[in-house]
Structure 1
Amino acid sequence: MPLRRALIELGFGLRHNEPSAKRYAADLKLRGKPNRVIGCALAHRANRIAYALVRDRVAFDPGYWRREES
């Protein structure tokens, strides 16, 4: 449970400090998602990114992970 809580805290931190995470969170909010769901979604996204970085053995490039704006 401590790891799960740490990931959720990471999600909330990203929501407040990372511009692309802020946009993603705002989109989720417009779709009617509650704040806790948004925090978990951001944590899940961060976890997927971290896994891909370790799996592929590459450095983090923020531009690569941003979604195209429609």
Structure 2
Amino acid sequence: MNSTICIKLIKSQIGVPKKLRKVLAGLGLRKTNSSVKHQDTPEIRGMVFKVKHLVEVTQVEGEE
């Protein structure tokens, strides 16, 4: 069973390379301070790792 993580965009996308903007779009993040919930999978973790300087990740407790 995979747990859930909450990903929040904390830095602006201005000046960010297009490749990383596509990663953010793939995660569903558009505007600063927007947040999304995803299952904690290796694919999502890999995407988060690429943009770790722009996002904040928290573990969501008690959700399935």
Task: Using structure 2 for the length normalisation, give the TM-score.
Answer: 0.27
Q: Compare CA radii of gyration and give the structure with the larger one.
A: 1
Greater strand share, structure number: 2
In the superposition, the TM-score normalised over structure 1's length comes to 0.26
Query: More relative contact order in 1 or in 2 (CA 8 Å, sep 6+)?
Result: 2
